[in-house]
A and B are shown apart, each in its own frame.
Chain A
Amino acid sequence: MEESKKVHDIIDIKNLDLYYGQFQALKSISMSIQHKMITALIGPSGCGKSTLLRSLNRMNDLIRGVRITGQVLLDGKDIYNSGMEITELRKTVGMVFQRPNPFPLSIYDNVVYGLRVAGVKSKSQLDEIMEWSLRSAWLWDQLKDKLHHPALQLPLDQQQRLCIARLLAVKPEVILMDEPCSALDPISTSKVEDLMHELKKDYTIVIVTHNMQQASRVSDYTAFYYIGNLIEYADTKKIFTAPGVKQTEDYISGRFG
């Protein structure tokens, strides 16, 4: 394995409990996310996959009544520590949402949104990063002649890749994806999956999916969740060929979910 790909943890989750008011949505979760790998979170609807994902960049802070105990270490630093600069954290650990959600702005303005809020003013710098981001999301050739068209007029898969480009522009290290293909047709889905493979060279990706084929196609590691518990976490190949826990086997063989 090449040097840059040497396996190490970038995120370390330790005994994470999360409550929505009285309801405990995550129960003592411990798992580490490997650097520059794709980790898939699978499990039936409502088992806490999105909740876990959102606790990795503190998006749950926006929800009232959320209480969290335990630790999430990013490069060894606890993101729930009061010293953590939350806007920096969210740029380092970026997010792609379930429904493509470009702003009702032009393609250009969407991509540079994060740069503008970070205070980048120079037109040449914006242009440069914008082009780089669109290239990285495989959109440059299609969109370079209509950068000032409304983003909402693009087909859905391009919208979703535009959202990825918009995220890449702020230079994240980790990309969280919450069922990024669930609004897309199979052809668009495979384009996004191919892109994920490409992005893996430079980024750590955590993807929530309830599409088992997708998890087995794209991910290196798979974590199976069930009602707030992490049931099994291992090599994707192992999970799908020789799961160690009966519940996992039942789930991936489609016996429930």
Chain B
Amino acid sequence: MRIPPKYTQIAAITILGAATVFTVAILIFILVFVLEKGLPILSLNFLFTSPADMGRSGGIFPILIGTVLLPLLAIIVAAPLGIATSVYLVEFTNESRITRLIRFGTDCLAGVPSIIFGLFGFIFFVTILGMGWSIMSGGLSLAFMILPTIIRTSEEAIRAVPKAYREVSFSLGASRWQTVRKVVIPNALPGVVTGVVLGIGRSIEETAVVIFTAGSSLLIPTSVFDSTRTMAVHFYILAREGLSMENAYGTAAALIIAVLIVNLTAYFMMHRFIAKRN
């Protein structure tokens, strides 16, 4: 027996709608759960005083610094490398077996669990290069972790620049590099920046890589070769060791707000990018 389209349509809308409501509800539940417990703890005082007694009391000031420095270093390293790679792949190589292999490789790397990057960073930067648990080791390891994402998003953005712009540029006597510099990159920039911002978000959230490579010092770092800890790591340690659930939630709330800010920025950039292209 055939069910009339009118009813299958109603059923489909109901199921799809329910799935959406369910997803959004879970997201809101998590957010409300963490923020409800964390926001009362969160204050300027909490953000700007150092922790005491392993974090049982006091604030998260050194951790705030670590949370800014590690992603910053990661992005300073990964953004130029990733953008340069994607420009090279799209503009200066022909689609061939080798470029497909590179693309496959970056896709695989993007899917590798972050703890593998942590382990690699620990062996390579911390041990072999003797950088110890430090902002340097952590930043570089995070850089490797976000590199594939940056390469892929930049590649997409560069590919999306209309072919006509390139043709016109060549027809006016520009070289390929001039075309890349004056036409391709400016037009791909919003998309490229979006990828970079997503990379920042991922390094802020990351726990495993940071524990393995930057350690978990609670002191205010004085050089890039000092150990530090980020909010994600701080939360993990406070909660796991049962040191202070209150401060753990305070840290979690700060973390969520930071990630939200970063992702909202990415969202609005993406939005502007699409609006501009149409």
- Chain A residues proximal to chain B, CB less than 8 Å: 57, 59, 62, 64, 87-88, 90-91, 94-95, 97, 99, 101, 103-104, 113-114, 116-118, 163, 166-167, 170
Contacts and interface: CB of A to CB of B under 8 A. Distances in A.
A90 B168 contact: no
A237 to B, nearest CB: 32
A67 to B, nearest CB: 15
Contact of B167 (A59, A114, A117): A59
A175 to B, nearest CB: 11
Contacts of B171: 57, 59, 90, 94-95, 97, 167
Interface stretch (B173-181, B197-205, B260-268): B173-181
Nearest to B168: A101
Size category of the B interface is 10 to 19
A105 to B, nearest CB: 9
26 contacts: A59-B167, A59-B170, A59-B171, A62-B167, A87-B175, A88-B173, A90-B171, A91-B172, A94-B172, A97-B171, A99-B164, A101-B164, A101-B168, A103-B165, A103-B168, A103-B183, A104-B276, A113-B182, A114-B173, A116-B182, A117-B174, A117-B175, A118-B173, A166-B172, A167-B171, A170-B173
B276 to A, nearest CB: 7
A57 B173 CA distance: 10
A117 B168 contact: no
A89 to B, nearest CB: 8
A90 B183 contact: no
Contacts of B222: none
Contacts of B162: 101
A97 B175 contact: no
A114 B183 CA distance: 12
Contacts of B194: none
A167 B172 CA distance: 7
The 9 closest A-B pairs by CB, nearest first: A114-B172, A91-B173, A117-B174, A95-B171, A87-B173, A101-B164, A117-B178, A90-B173, A101-B168
A113 B169 contact: yes
- Majority secondary structure of chain A interface residues (helix, strand, loop or mixed): helix
B223 interface: no
A59 B172 CA distance: 11
Interface string B124-163: 0000000000000000000000000000000000000010
A97 B168 contact: yes
A97 to B, nearest CB: 7
B173 A97 contact: no
B164 A117 contact: no
A91 B94 CA distance: 25
Contacts of A116: 182
Given A103-B165, A114-B172, 16 more contacts: A59-B170, A88-B173, A90-B171, A91-B172, A91-B173, A103-B168, A103-B183, A104-B187, A113-B169, A113-B182, A117-B175, A117-B182, A118-B173, A163-B168, A167-B172, A170-B172
Interface string B74-114: 00000000000000000000100000000000000000000
A113 B167 contact: no
A70 to B, nearest CB: 22
A212 B182 CA distance: 38
